[in-house]
Structure 1
Amino acid sequence: MKILVITGSPRRKGTSAILAEQFTAGAESVGHTVVRFDAALKKVAPCVACSYCKRHEGECALKDDMANLIPDLIAAEMVVFVTPLYYSGMSAQLKAVIDRFYSINSILRATPKQAILLSAGADKDLWPMEAQETHFRAIFRYLKWQFRGSLLAVGVHERQDIEQTGYPRKAWALGEKAGVK
């Protein structure tokens, strides 16, 4: 299976990064092909709602790293979104990527995909994570993608916090089970 992992954290070794690393290792251990796009480390401008893409067969007026992501996004059978929890939602860097899906909206909605959410946050309460998951579920429903689950790591502010939990192992296991119905 072709899996695209899109991360949204600006911290290369943060808590959500370990979830992405472990998910990827688990998925690759059973033969899946994984491509990773670190949105916060790339140049991706927010959509400016110019509709240039609608007049130019999906080509965006903004010339940035999103052009490199589009072929992998179209080819992926599963898309895994990985983000830290920021004020009950995803990072701005990840949101910019998702908003830019607009340029190929009709392709994405017509291409069956599976989707997973991995998120980590310092808050010990689960309800902010649940708000974020609800938002992602709405995005997946709109895209007509099958929601295959989430891993919501709470109470983990720093990498050493999450390393002392079962969350990395759970991310690995989710990767191993990717695509299994």
Structure 2
Amino acid sequence: MKIIVISGSAHANGASTYLADRFVAGSTAAGHQVERYNVVDHQTNFVMVAENEDPIPQDDDGAQLLNKVVAADLVVLVTPVYYYAMSSLLKTVIDRFYEVNEELKQADKRIMMMATAYDPDEHVFDSMKINYRQLVNYLGWHDAGTVWDHGALTHPQIDQYGQQAYDLGARLRD
């Protein structure tokens, strides 16, 4: 299976990176082809749309990423929570999906979401869960699993959620 893991965190060694690393380790061990795309390491401009609703091409790394998303069987979104939502880095990438919207909506793909929050209250993810369900439904993709890591900076919990991320990757079947 071809997998693209899109990380939307500016914190290079943070909890979101840890979850992404654990997922990559599990899915690689299961024999899948995994590519990692850390948004902070690339220039990805905002989506621009002309008056006729056509996307305006951007001079950035976005087209390269979109090609990888189109080619992938599974798209994994990884983000910290900022003010009850995904990071603006990840949201910018998802907005760019508009450029290949019809291709993505016609594709038989799977999607996963992994999110981390410092807040120990699991309700910190409520609005993100709604947004994620809406994205899955809009694209017509199949939800392949989620990890919602609240209290992400406490090591026993991060290890627990890291194991969940690893297991999600390790249990994937084509």
Which TM-score band applies after superposition, normalised by the shorter structure?
over 0.9
- Percent identity of paired positions between Structure 1 and Structure 2: 32
User: Which digits, 9 at most, give the CA deviation of each residue in 1:46-81, with x for residues without a partner?
Assistant: 112226883xxx7x4211011111221111001000
Report 1:71-90 matches (<5 A).
Answer: 71-90=67-86
Aligned residue for 1:117? 113
Count of matched residue pairs: 174
CA change 1:130–1:50 in 2 (3 A) is same
Cα pair 1:22 1:172 within 8 Å, conserved: yes
Which of 128, 137, 143 is the equivalent residue of 1:132? Answer: 128
Report the CA distance between 1:41 and its aligned residue.
Answer: 2.1
Aligned residue for 2:23? 23
Q: Higher strand proportion, which one? A: 2
Q: For structure 1, which segment, 10-19 or 42-51, has the greater mean C-alpha deviation from structure 2 after superposition?
A: 42-51
The whole-number CA distance in structure 2 between the counterparts of 1:104 and 1:166 is 36
CA change 1:17–1:121 in 2 (3 A) is same
Q: RMSD across aligned C-alpha pairs, in angstroms?
A: 1.9
CA change 1:26–1:74 in 2 (3 A) is same
CA change 1:44–1:30 in 2 (3 A) is same
Aligned residue for 2:169? 175
The whole-number CA distance in structure 1 between the counterparts of 2:173 and 2:82 is 29
CA change 1:162–1:40 in 2 (3 A) is farther
Report 1:150-165 matches (<5 A).
Answer: 150-157=146-153, 161=155, 165=159
- TM-score under structure 1 length normalisation: 0.89
Report the CA distance between 1:164 and its aligned residue.
Answer: 5.5
One-letter identity of the residue aligned with 1:93: L
Cα pair 2:8 2:80 within 8 Å, conserved: yes
CA change 1:50–1:162 in 2 (3 A) is farther
Cα pair 1:40 1:94 within 8 Å, conserved: no
Cα pair 1:53 1:103 within 8 Å, conserved: no
The whole-number CA distance in structure 1 between the counterparts of 2:33 and 2:123 is 33
CA change 1:165–1:30 in 2 (3 A) is closer
One-letter identity of the residue aligned with 2:81: L
Aligned residue for 1:42? 42
Cα pair 1:15 1:162 within 8 Å, conserved: no
The whole-number CA distance in structure 2 between the counterparts of 1:52 and 1:41 is 32
Cα pair 1:16 1:120 within 8 Å, conserved: yes
The whole-number CA distance in structure 2 between the counterparts of 1:40 and 1:26 is 23
Stretches of 4+ aligned residues off by more than 6 angstroms = none
State yes or no: 1:92 paired with 2:88.
Answer: yes
